[in-house]
Amino acid sequence: MNYDVVIIGAGFAGCTCAQILAENGKQILIIEKRGHIGGNAYDCLDEHGIIIHPYGPHIFHTNSERIFRYLSRFTNWVAYEHRVLSFVEKKYLPIPINRTTINRLYDLNLTESEVAEYLDRIRISKEKILNSEDLVLNSVGNDLCEKFFRGYTRKQWGLDLSQLSAGVAARIPTRTNDDDRYFTDKFQYMPQNGYTKMFENMLSSPNIEIALNTDFENVGAEHKGATLIYTGAIDTFYDYRHGKLPYRSLQFKHEHFANTSQYQPAATINYPNDFKFTRTTEFKQITGQKHPGTSVVSEFPCDNGDPYYPIPNASNEALYKRYEQLAKDERNTIFVGRLAQYRYYNMDQVVGAAISAIEH
Ligand code: FAD
Ligand code: UDP
């Protein structure tokens, strides 16, 4: 079979490219090293019949109507707004930090404008925000930084806040009102029948063939002449020519509690200062599934293992730029996605990046 396009990876990036190109009449082969489609957003039933996300909790949110409409062709949605509590000083407190967080942590009863004044008093004003430490200190000052951010960040990344780009901590806003949602995007939904079903619908064209359990490294020389779309780690593609790009990995501990209908007081609990895991997530609270038991995942960050997170800081960005330069010089290969572009993308941003990668 002669393919027009060979796509490496069946995650959001690969599936979006495949769907659009197949619709335009191209013959596509997707090569995926795992035994399933969907990349890290894959979901499935666990052995107890509970819908889980084996690679950690995935909540869809976007401000882009275009991306939301595009994905809506392949799934119906269920409205879902994520809420997270952070376990600090033996209390479960809303994160992002809001009025409730401040009042409950310090035993105060401040109004919204008083919280704004309070934050203004305790923040450590920075002229330049050079990294995540500057960003957090500039917003909430030292005590809240230590209690909510420094330990969590050290665990998650193996680095201090000061060693990470400001964009990392900037994902978490600070609020003076009572809004306790994790995200404020215009569109916040879960796919009604799960992500995997949505990916199956995206890949349903007869123009798309999928080779699972197949590593590109073993088939690299085949399919000459086809355009290549690569969504794996960019340093691997170039055989680490400029050195290894750091990616952070996770180990997931999945547990089931047969006689517990609700395990924890919110869908996700963050543990900035206790335990080796960063957070625990109870899937039923996200999917709305009814079941007498419950399944929970804890995330243990580590250096080695599947690459899950690019690590945003200046030196890694400089190294990535050297790989990006190699990529720019390729004639018939497109690099797109969280690993290939070394960007801390959310799912919707990957869809956006994939759409624009094939439009250009
Ligand atoms: P991936 O999903 O990583 O897909 C790449 C695919 O390529 C993989 O399936 C991989 O097996 C395959 N591959 C790589 N190399 C090869 C090779 N050599 N040969 C064959 N196949 C190969 N985003 C949100 O919007 N909301 C969330 O709540 C959210 N939560 C997250 C939680 C965790 C724990 C993690 C790790 C990420 C989360 N994300 C979330 C981000 C989201 O997972 C990504 O933005 C998105 O899934 C990336 O899609 P991708 O296609 O770029 O990469
Ligand atoms: N963060 C933190 N404390 C928290 C939540 C987040 O310090 O309770 C910091 C931490 O550095 C984390 C980053 O903010 O890696 C981004 O958090 P987010 O929840 O967006 O991470 P993700 O869901 O991508 O793992």
Tell me the pLDDT tens digit for each residue of 281-332. Answer: 999 999 999 999 999 999 999 999 999 999 999 999 999 999 999 999 999 9
Report whether pLDDT(188) > 70: yes
CA distance linking residue 316 with residue 82, whole number of Å:
31
Give alpha helix (H) positions in the chain: 12-23, 65-72, 99-106, 112-122, 132-144, 151-157, 166-169, 195-202, 216-219, 234-237, 283-287, 314-328, 347-359
Q: pLDDT grade, residue 99 (50/70/90)? A: very high
Q: How many other CB atoms are there within 10 angstroms of residue 54's CB atom?
A: 14
Q: What is the average pLDDT across 188-203?
A: 98
Distance 59 CA to ligand 2 centre (A): 14
Ligand 1: lining residues by beta carbon, under 6 Å: 8-14, 31-34, 39-41, 55-59, 215-217, 231-232, 250, 308, 337-339, 345-348, 350
Residue nearest to atom 34 of ligand 1 (CA): 56
Q: What is the mean pLDDT of residues 89-93?
A: 98
Whether residue 352 is predicted with pLDDT greater than 70 in this model: the reply is yes
Which residue lies with its CA nearest to atom 3 of ligand 2?
149
Mean pLDDT of 228-234: 98
Residue to mutate, 7, 40, 345, ligand 1, most ligand atoms under 8 Å from C-beta: 40
**Is 120 in contact with 128 (CB distance < 8 Å)?**
no
> 309 C-alpha vs ligand 1 centroid, how far in Å?
9
Q: Please tell me the residue having the least CA distance from ligand 1 atom 48.
A: 338
Q: pLDDT grade, residue 218 (50/70/90)?
A: confident
pLDDT interval class at 1 (50, 70, 90)? confident
pLDDT of residue 221: 63
Helix, strand, coil percentages (3-state) for the chain, rounded to 5, are 35, 20, 45
Mean pLDDT estimate for the chain: 97
Do the bridges between strand 91-95 and strand 227-230 make them parallel or antiparallel, or are there none, so unpaired?
unpaired
Whether the per-residue pLDDT at 225 is higher than 90: the answer is: no
Give the model's confidence band at 220: pLDDT under 50 very low, under 70 low, under 90 confident, else very high. low
Average pLDDT over residues 250-254: 98
**pLDDT tens readout for residues 36-80:** 999 999 999 999 999 999 999 999 999 999 999 999 999 999 999
CA-to-CA distance for 234 and 221, rounded, in angstroms?
A: 17
Q: Are 250 and 305 in contact, with CB atoms under 8 Å apart?
A: yes
Q: Which residue has the higher pLDDT, 100 or 221?
A: 100
| Predicted local confidence at residue 257, as pLDDT | 98
pLDDT at 219: 83
Is the pLDDT at 254 greater than 90? The verdict is: yes
Which residue carries 């080796």 as its tokens? 276
**pLDDT band at 360, cuts 50/70/90?**
confident
Structure tokens at 166: 């400001």
Distance 216 CA to ligand 1 centre (A): 16
Higher pLDDT pick, 219 / 269: 269
